Amino acid sequence: QVQLQESGPGLVKPSQTLTLTCSVSGDSITATYIAWIWLRQPSGKGLEWMGGIGTDGSTYYSPSLESRTSISRNTSKNQFSLQLSSVTPEDTAVYYCGGGIRVGVKSNSATYDYWGQGTQVTVSS
């Protein structure tokens, strides 16, 4: 059974860099049949796809966030991470990591198989 768990700071100051980590158990982060993604959901708004690692091992980013986003994986710890720089209060949201078997990294989130429980991040001074 694959399980995902997000971790990171709950509170970040404006202009800082947010770093979140998704720990994966039950399968390898390097499995070539699983795509890994990050989504977020501000309060009262819909899910926003931020980016991910495709089954080809490449990273993909939302065009609106690409200049501030970096996604990477740590194979030794079986984790993948999200870095979001120059955060503002508009980045306040619940952040989720997900994994999907044999799906495109930009596929609808409903097609993904595995999800973390989500972690609240608040950007405030």
d(Cα 112, Cα 120) in Å, to the nearest integer?
21
Neighbours of 10 (CB within 10 A): 8
pLDDT of the residue at 5: 97
pLDDT of the residue at 80: 97
pLDDT of the residue at 58: 94
Residues of the chain with pLDDT under 70: none
| Closest of 7, 91, 10 to residue 45, by C-alpha | 91
Are the C-beta atoms of 80 and 72 separated by less than 8 Å? yes
- Residue range 22-38, pLDDT digits in tens: 999 999 999 999 999 99
The secondary structure of residue 2, as a DSSP letter, is -
